[in-house]
Structure 1
Amino acid sequence: MGMNFLHQLCCRSAYRERHSATNIVPWSLEGLDLGDNTLEVGPGYGANVTALRARTATLTGLEIDPELAARLREKRAGQLRVIDGDGTAMPMSDSEFSTVVCFTMLHHVPTPEQQDGLFAEAFRVLRPGGTFAGSDGIDSLPFRLMHLGDTYNPVPPATLTARLARAGFTDIAVETGTGIFRFEAHRPAS
């Protein structure tokens, strides 16, 4: 799931990590207890690692880009377990995680069908009663321009509730903010 050079610079910047830690993660996960074992799908350059580690005992990152996965292992050693893999075919056990999260990465999943596959996989690897949560950008001209030459397939927030329900989730909430939306969905307890 490619990113252009300027997008890469932005995503690996100290500003991005501060913005994520003080704005994106707190707003996206407001009021949510992550439990003891959290999976972040698509951690990229690791902007969310510090903020997530403060909220969970164990953090795993599933990263499709082998170079980013290797970078995470080197720069974030001891902070999270990094697994190379695709969110649409997660190499994890059923019911392994208390929470699955993803931030500003769903628009890099090439097709709606693959996004739905990621939702189904998030459901599969969650424990009963677990939560899938996160956020992503809302389609706009500035968001599109930032992604010139990238894989860019934004999720329309208005479609997300039905798509997550098809994957098996219940108690789904989707809320939009300025240029961003957040979601929370639950795997039924039984």
Structure 2
Amino acid sequence: MRILTTLFLLSLIICFPDYSQAASAQEINAKVNQALKEFYRHSPAGKELAQKAAAVLVFPEVIKAGIGIGGEYGEGALREGGKTTAYYNVASASIGFQLGAQLKSEVLLFMNKEAFQKFRSSDGWEAGVDGSVAIATLGAGGEIDSNTIQQPIIGFIFSNKGLMYNLSIEGSKITRINR
């Protein structure tokens, strides 16, 4: 697995040279602000939910790439009451039929304090293992399914560009980083 991870990271550096350097706190915050503007523009219902959430975790640029072996990586910020309180990265690896690259944004809403505290107290949180994330889909009129809005953690994935398409964050590991 270590070899696969190394190969994946090397491919990201070659394919996306601008992303091979860690972003500063100021760069992450600027990108998070822009991602939230786009999110709110595309989903007024998502904006309403975000205002009710205990915390919002935003990964403005998650890069996913693969040629048989794939992976994804992105850095983001945790917002409580509209203010950044911590920085995180998201990473995952996969093996199987895949070819291409994709840049997407992810927003996770922690809708109650219990789910948020479990996330905050973890030393590396994995979606689907440490907590289930309900991926929101928009119906007619931009409304979110009523079953989804009752879940403790709601995820939104948007701004998909590229050849790969995957609306899942299951198996993604989220780890706190210092910025």
TM-score by length of 1: 0.33
Give the structure with the larger strand fraction. 2
TM-score normalised according to structure 2 size: 0.34
